[in-house]
Structure 1
Amino acid sequence: QLRDSDGLGALKGEQFGLIRREDLDEKLYKDMVEQQTSKLYQQMLEVRKKLPSYKMRDEIVDAIQKHQVVVLSGETGCGKTTQVAQFILENAIADGKGSTCRIVCTQPRRISAVSVAQRVADERGEKLGKSVGYQIRLESVLPRSEGSILFCTTGIVLQWLQGDPVLSQVSHLVLDEIHERDMLSDFLICIAKDLIKVRPDLKIVLMSATLNAKLFSEYYGGCPMLHIPGFTFPVKEYYLEDVLEITRFKFQDERRIPIWKRREHKENKEFEEMIAPYIRNLERSQKYSSQTLDELYKKSSEELNVELILELLRYIAQQPPGAVLIFLPGWDKISKLHSMIQEDRMLGGRNYLVIPLHSMMPTANQREVFDRPPKGVRKIVLATNIAETSITIDDIVYVVDGGFIKMKNYDKEANVTTLLPQWVTLANARQRRGRAGRVQAGICYHLFTRAREQALDEYPLPEIQRSRLEEIILHIKILRLGSVKPFLLEVMMPPDPSVVGVSLQMLRAINALDESENLTPLGFHLARLPVDPLTGRMLLMAAIFSCVGPILTVAASLTFKDPFIIPLGKEKIVDEVKRRLNRGAKSDHLLVVTVYDNWERACQYGNERQYCRDNFLSSAVLHQLKNFRKQFMSLLYEHKFVNTCNPRAGEVNRNSENLALVRAIITAGLYPNVARVLPNSGRPSPHKPVRIRTAQEKRVALHPKSVNEKERKFEHPWLIYREKIKSSQVFIHDSSMVPTYPLLFFGEKLNYDSSNGVINVDGFVRVRSSQHVAHLVQSLRNVLDQLLEHKISHPRMTRWEKFTKEGALLHTIVDLISSEKRITEEPQEYFEDQDDDDNDDN
């Protein structure tokens, strides 16, 4: 089914694609023949020929030539990611059709796009930028325009579609790692299904690491499938019962439970019905000691225990040489195990090189993960699931599969994102096992029982089924793909309709969509900005209110990450540094602004290294924030909201020193993410955290990383925050204290209840006010809404002269926000009906 008349459907029957040039075909052929005779190319060719995919070269090329869509599956290490695009390119040039061959290969992660492009260029004996290149956000080395291969992230292709809805300059679209089922890949797979109807010359190759190829083939009407057998050495697998037997480990956190009570003690129904009968079978088999069986009966045997991993490492240390890869669910477990290894008398010595692999670690540290250690040194890599498929560490012999993975899920009932450890799937466990047998026979230790393995899900849930959908909806709208709900029903595994409804409602609430689901002028700009809608709205408001500098930094850190490094064991020192730098601002967002501005000054005076070292900052992250700031500034310039690309220019920063206004613009961006600080009964105590609630939750906590977490007194009762995530409890992340005025000017529509003198913003934000003040705020708000709508529809630099209507209104609003005067007396900002549960400490 093609889309609405002004979308792809209107293009059917037109001619697209690259135009053939015989002179270029001849040149590309001559260049290739010359290249293939070089010594370097021949050496790399010998390596390529050993890959399983090379042995199927003719079969793969033939299938792609004969069919518009082909699904290729192959185990990690078979060479499909590096070889398939080269097969297509070499065949096209040999056939004299190089000028019409432009291959684009998508990767779900930046690190993969860059490293694969570099590897392919090396194999071809050339530098990046000739026949091979890459493009990721903020960074690219582009290849020649014809007869080329470009590796890029999926988001880059979605950006191209906005200007070229049929990808007219692409001959082959290769979608790699689609088994990961990330949201953008699933979305692009759905779009490509429509694309091939108007581009019969476009070839689609879907590549999956695991054997769920049938699902993708069926989605494309039963298109052909090819499987490339991987070559790995045999891997011996051990499970929790074996590990306990080998190590004689005892779980310390649970009392021994008498046998007659064991089943009763297990509240977990799954354990009673599946694990306990399995353990009884083990008892009958007499293969395992009574100590091992006792440990398996404990509830903690189904939890990840880093002490057990340490004991297992001591055992592996006595086995033949080989690097160890340990899969852990997140930074907390990585840092705990890392510090335990460092303190261990056996493993903490020079004979062991321990490398944590996580997004919170500096990138430079992560590069050594690929290097072989000196003779006599055993490498131990502590990693999350990034090491399953995205990167390959060649010298791994031992794998420890912790059995858990941290995954973001959206809880639609509670309207909250959750980030909890959950059992791996069988697909995860297979990938982890496969990492052990790449250079020699390997060993994989799964820290779960064989019975638990029987209960694991086959594949992870697609991201589109466990996430909010605002960004995808904006993509659907900007690409003119029709109504949201019908389109999303055509995705391979559609999301829950109620989540679609929540996301649509949120976009209406921030005025990105109108009631008929059309993009508003604001929605149009948000859809074209490569950030989430709330951060995008913040950037536009910063341009209108001329406080661009600090908001560029806030937006960059929300899009990427904050620049603090937290060395193991120095968490409290880092907290102290953060509080000192924040200077009482009670804002995670303003903290990053201060840190960034100080860093730029330090760079000017040649003190960058000292500044970063003294303040526990990542120079790499700060440089990346600088790149994001530049990109965002260029986008504001392209969209005509500013008249310069210089983020330090005076005219776009006339209000950047006004921190009250900067807080208001952060509020304008992050609303409706508002929390309320409740009044403490009795005197504040340094040991008693403040009580905070949101519209949905009676009690939430500030995340321990927040500069506000240790605060015990807030001058204003409101906090604006980036997101709330449920782990051990519901935490709000990246918060700033804000006064009332920003919520009145940038929240939802105002209502005044004259019977009890209350301004009601959204049912949650409510303040007492006199009728006179309420009407003044209401009339200012109405005029401001009209002005903002006009400026979003007709972008240009703001005129601040007081004799202009625009300048006079904005000066009034800014003055009111800057004064931070109270509309009400403090005690009357709290309402009895909201605070009935305030004494509930559960």
Structure 2
Amino acid sequence: MLGCGKTTQVAQFILDQEILAGRGSTCRIVCTQPRRISAISVAERVADERSEKCGRGFSTGYQIRLEKKLPRSRGSILFCTTGILLEWMKSDQTISCVSHLVLDEIHERDVLSDFVITILKGVLPKRPDLKVILMSATLNAEHFSQYYDNCPFINIPGFTFPVQEYYLEDVLELTKFRIAEGTASREPQGWQKHLKRNKEKVSKIQQFKDWIAPHVRQLQHEGKYSPDVLKSLSLPESEELNVELVAALTLRICISQGVGAILIFLPGWSEISNLHRLLTESGKFPSCVRKIIIATSIAETSITIDDVVYVIDCGKIKMKNFDVKNNIATLEAEWVTLANARQRKGRAGRVQPGICYHLYSKAREMMLREYPLPEMLRSRLEEVILQIKMLCLGKVRPFLEKVMNPPDPRAVDLSLRLLQTLNAIDSDENLTPLGFHLARLPLDPQTGKMILLGAMFSCVDPIFSVAASLGFKDAFVIPLGKEKEVDQKKQSLARGCKSDHLVLVEAMKRWESLESQGRDRGRQFCWDYFLSSHTLGLLRAVGHNANRLKVETPEDGRVCIHPKSVNEKERYFESPFLVYHLKLRSTAVFLHDTTVARPLPLLFFGEGPVRWYKDERGFGVISINSTVKFNCRADTADLVKKLRSRLDDLLEDKIAHPGITDWSSNSEEGKLLRAIVELITSEDEKVKPVGRHYGDDDSDSE
């Protein structure tokens, strides 16, 4: 169904037919999209086709997190994200107000879509009148049909124009580009050492020997390509993403091909930025001559750029995965699937015949997977588990076994364990009062707990800003070529606080102050500090380490603070502990969004029970786990334990009986919270990290 107009037309066909049949007043069509931008753009396109406006009183609208333009309640089409649909199902699991449900782009197999698909299998027997349509341009339809008890499926021929395909060998011949031989070929002993440490690399090199090398020999036998091309193809480096080759191919298209825009697919921002710099600094691309769009996989679906004739497919895509063995999220570029490749190719043939250049060999294409691995097999599952409990779907493991492709049981166990540590579920998988509230928040449970604590301690505004940014979108915009300027502006907002979270709080505070003096002043502040006023508005509505600083986590050993962080270049910290929102492995293990944390807040708000004991030297130690522990006197430890216990009791009581914090002097909760605040702000010198010193000035200070 590639290029057949399914996303914009199917819902309209249904609505028009229902109106003609006299059932318009009972027709309410909901069409889900995996991305916010798709839901908005498709809704606006459909409204335009119907000669209407999008939203109130008209037949078409959209709803995404924090933003909506709802259509009329009946005889209408609503485009929304899958998460919005799931929120409705918490209060109305059978979605009784929906007559037709269209789940689009399900080939992407994101967690929420698979979750909804699983729930719907149980809903349909209760709602025989509900019409469910699963749609995708590249889909193993038989697989989905079998899951839904062999339901019927149809294939609609696409209306794309023919697209001529070229592969890496063709591109190298066309551009005369030569791939440089790297250390992999020149230092075989080093490679052998490296391969022993990395089984994945061993597998890749073995694949290269088994598939690519015979392919090169076959091409040599056929005599179709020059010796230089064959030499480049025989190098392992030919399988790496090469932005210089992309730039050379782009220039070749501009010089030798007819009119038409060029759409280039790259894995992420770093590659986009590098290519943009190469193109702009080369001086070979006059402006106003040809449109060149550089994008990630987001341009594969839903959004059509009408004048694209040439597609350059780098063959790589960044996929977020979850390493169950090491309990860490990863974000690394990997080979596209055949489904991705077909989508990318199809972008070149929407309005006229086109050309697609794949920057991988024909042999590599034969090794590509057919479809992407479902996200549920490569993600943490805490949020899914909380939704299972909220929807009263029973025990977690039996439900997840019903999913079309069930997740690894080890991943389920890890997520259950974390939720128990957070006190979100008990040992029998029942939601605690805290877990109930965390499940209702559209955030990961750690961020949700931060919000609840922020409410208790009456610092809601800054915490909401931080939470919204972590869970929704970074307010900072990084224009190509302006990366250093953005970093300087963030450092100025940090004002030495050594916290990415508080940088956002400061930005929000200044913007709100200036905005109150006039929208032009707020807009100018956003322009000066590379901030998105739109994102700040939405946030408000929701209320490689260069200096070799040694940063470690218990699970990973040495890690890096991400270059985007204001702490990345810091050499001195008042405390040896950092808290972070996200740990992600790409070129290294990076900590994102870090804040320096002192001992007492860790003892009061960290996860794990407070214990006091004497070590082998006879010194008193207070701890909450094997990593967070401090030398501490017995009387100080006793005070902390009592306050922590009472704080835990208060948190439970507040969650079960929500209400405004009573800070008055005769209030028990006020006395407790003030005592904790006074202790934290006094920076009590009686508590010291075990075996560590603040402000060590050597290169390995922590």
Give the structure-2-normalised TM-score.
0.93
Among candidates 331, 336, 351, match of residue 274 of structure 2: 336
Q: Deviations over 1:794-832 (max 9, x none)?
A: 10001011211111111111111111222334674479x
Aligned partners of 1:255 and 1:825: how far apart in 2? 47
Q: Deviations over 1:259-314 (max 9, x none)?
A: x99x9999611111111111111111111100111111122111010111111111
Aligned partners of 1:492 and 1:252: how far apart in 2? 44
Matched residue SS, 1:155? helix
Matched residue SS, 2:150? coil
Aligned partners of 1:204 and 1:718: how far apart in 2? 51
Aligned partners of 2:183 and 2:429: how far apart in 1? 58
1:256 offset after TM fit, Å? 11
Alignment of 1:454-469 (within 5 A): 454-469=366-381
Equivalent residue for 1:89? 15
> Are 2:42 and 2:302, in contact at CA under 8 Å, matched by a contact in 1?
no
The range that moved more, 387-396 or 124-133, is 124-133
Matched residue SS, 2:125? helix
Matched residue SS, 1:435? helix
Q: Which amino acid aligns with 2:614?
A: S
Stretches of structure 1 that go unaligned for 5 or more consecutive residues are 1-73, 352-376, 630-685, 832-837
Equivalent residue for 2:211? 274
Aligned partners of 1:783 and 1:317: how far apart in 2? 70
Aligned partners of 2:496 and 2:634: how far apart in 1? 34
Aligned partners of 2:38 and 2:336: how far apart in 1? 22
1:196 offset after TM fit, Å? 0.7
Q: Deviations over 1:25-67 (max 9, x none)?
A: xxxxxxxxxxxxxxxxxxxxxxxxxxxxxxxxxxxxxxxxxxx
Equivalent residue for 2:131? 203
Alignment of 1:9-408 (within 5 A): 74-75=1-2, 77-129=3-55, 130-252=58-180, 254=182, 268-318=205-255, 319-347=257-285, 349-351=286-288, 377-408=289-320
Aligned partners of 1:505 and 1:114: how far apart in 2? 37
1:839 offset after TM fit, Å? 7.9
Among candidates 762, 766, 769, match of residue 629 of structure 2: 766
**Residues 1:804 and 2:667 aligned together:** yes
Aligned partners of 1:173 and 1:689: how far apart in 2? 53
Matched residue SS, 1:551? helix
Equivalent residue for 2:586? 727
Equivalent residue for 2:555? 696
Alignment of 1:785-824 (within 5 A): 785-824=648-687
**Residues 1:580 and 2:518 aligned together:** no
Q: Deviations over 1:480-516 (max 9, x none)?
A: 0111110011011111111011011111111110111
Matched residue SS, 1:125? coil
Superposed CA RMSD: 2.2
Give the structure-1-normalised TM-score.
0.78
Aligned partners of 1:505 and 1:783: how far apart in 2? 24
1:582 offset after TM fit, Å? 0.9
Q: Which amino acid aligns with 1:301?
A: S
> Are 2:267 and 2:317, in contact at CA under 8 Å, matched by a contact in 1?
yes
Q: Which amino acid aligns with 1:782?
A: S
> Are 2:499 and 2:566, in contact at CA under 8 Å, matched by a contact in 1?
yes
Distance 1:273 1:613, change over 3 A: same
Matched residue SS, 1:228? coil
Q: Which amino acid aligns with 1:269?
A: Q
Aligned partners of 1:531 and 1:148: how far apart in 2? 30
Aligned residues: 678
1:126 offset after TM fit, Å? 2.2
> Are 1:767 and 1:829, in contact at CA under 8 Å, matched by a contact in 2?
no
1:688 offset after TM fit, Å? 3.5
Among candidates 499, 523, 543, match of residue 609 of structure 1: 523
Matched residue SS, 1:436? helix
Equivalent residue for 2:358? 446
Among candidates 730, 734, 750, match of residue 610 of structure 2: 750
1:576 offset after TM fit, Å? 2.3
Aligned partners of 1:551 and 1:839: how far apart in 2? 32
Equivalent residue for 2:533? 619
Distance 1:490 1:255, change over 3 A: closer
Stretches of structure 2 that go unaligned for 5 or more consecutive residues are 196-200
1:620 offset after TM fit, Å? 2.6
1:252 offset after TM fit, Å? 3.5
Q: Deviations over 1:299-348 (max 9, x none)?
A: 2111010111111111101211111000000000001101111112211x
Q: Which amino acid aligns with 2:65?
A: R
> Are 2:526 and 2:533, in contact at CA under 8 Å, matched by a contact in 1?
yes
1:435 offset after TM fit, Å? 0.8
Aligned partners of 2:111 and 2:655: how far apart in 1? 29
Q: Which amino acid aligns with 2:234?
A: Y
> Are 1:768 and 1:829, in contact at CA under 8 Å, matched by a contact in 2?
no
Distance 1:825 1:157, change over 3 A: closer
Distance 1:192 1:827, change over 3 A: closer
Matched residue SS, 2:326? coil
Q: Aligned residues: percent identity? A: 57
Q: Deviations over 1:436-476 (max 9, x none)?
A: 11111111100000001111111110111100011111111
Q: Which amino acid aligns with 1:619?
A: S
1:253 offset after TM fit, Å? 5.8
**Residues 1:536 and 2:423 aligned together:** no
Q: Deviations over 1:170-226 (max 9, x none)?
A: 111111111111111111111111111111111111112114111111100100011
Q: Which amino acid aligns with 1:299?
A: P
Equivalent residue for 2:198? none
Aligned partners of 2:131 and 2:623: how far apart in 1? 56
Matched residue SS, 2:154? strand
Matched residue SS, 1:434? helix
Aligned structure 1 segments of 4 or more residues deviating by more than 4 angstroms: 255-258, 263-267, 838-841
Q: Which amino acid aligns with 1:539?
A: I
Aligned partners of 1:220 and 1:144: how far apart in 2? 32
Aligned partners of 2:115 and 2:693: how far apart in 1? 45
Q: Which amino acid aligns with 1:91?
A: Q
> Are 1:388 and 1:431, in contact at CA under 8 Å, matched by a contact in 2?
yes
The range that moved more, 443-452 or 211-220, is 211-220
> Are 2:599 and 2:689, in contact at CA under 8 Å, matched by a contact in 1?
no
1:752 offset after TM fit, Å? 1.2
Among candidates 470, 473, 476, match of residue 382 of structure 2: 470
Aligned partners of 1:116 and 1:405: how far apart in 2? 24
Q: Which amino acid aligns with 1:100?
A: T
> Are 1:563 and 1:617, in contact at CA under 8 Å, matched by a contact in 2?
yes
1:570 offset after TM fit, Å? 3.1
> Are 1:109 and 1:390, in contact at CA under 8 Å, matched by a contact in 2?
no
Matched residue SS, 1:535? helix
Aligned partners of 2:431 and 2:683: how far apart in 1? 34
Matched residue SS, 1:225? coil
Matched residue SS, 2:331? strand
Aligned partners of 2:610 and 2:265: how far apart in 1? 51
> Are 2:549 and 2:701, in contact at CA under 8 Å, matched by a contact in 1?
no
Q: Which amino acid aligns with 2:560?
A: A
Equivalent residue for 2:575? 716
1:840 offset after TM fit, Å? 13
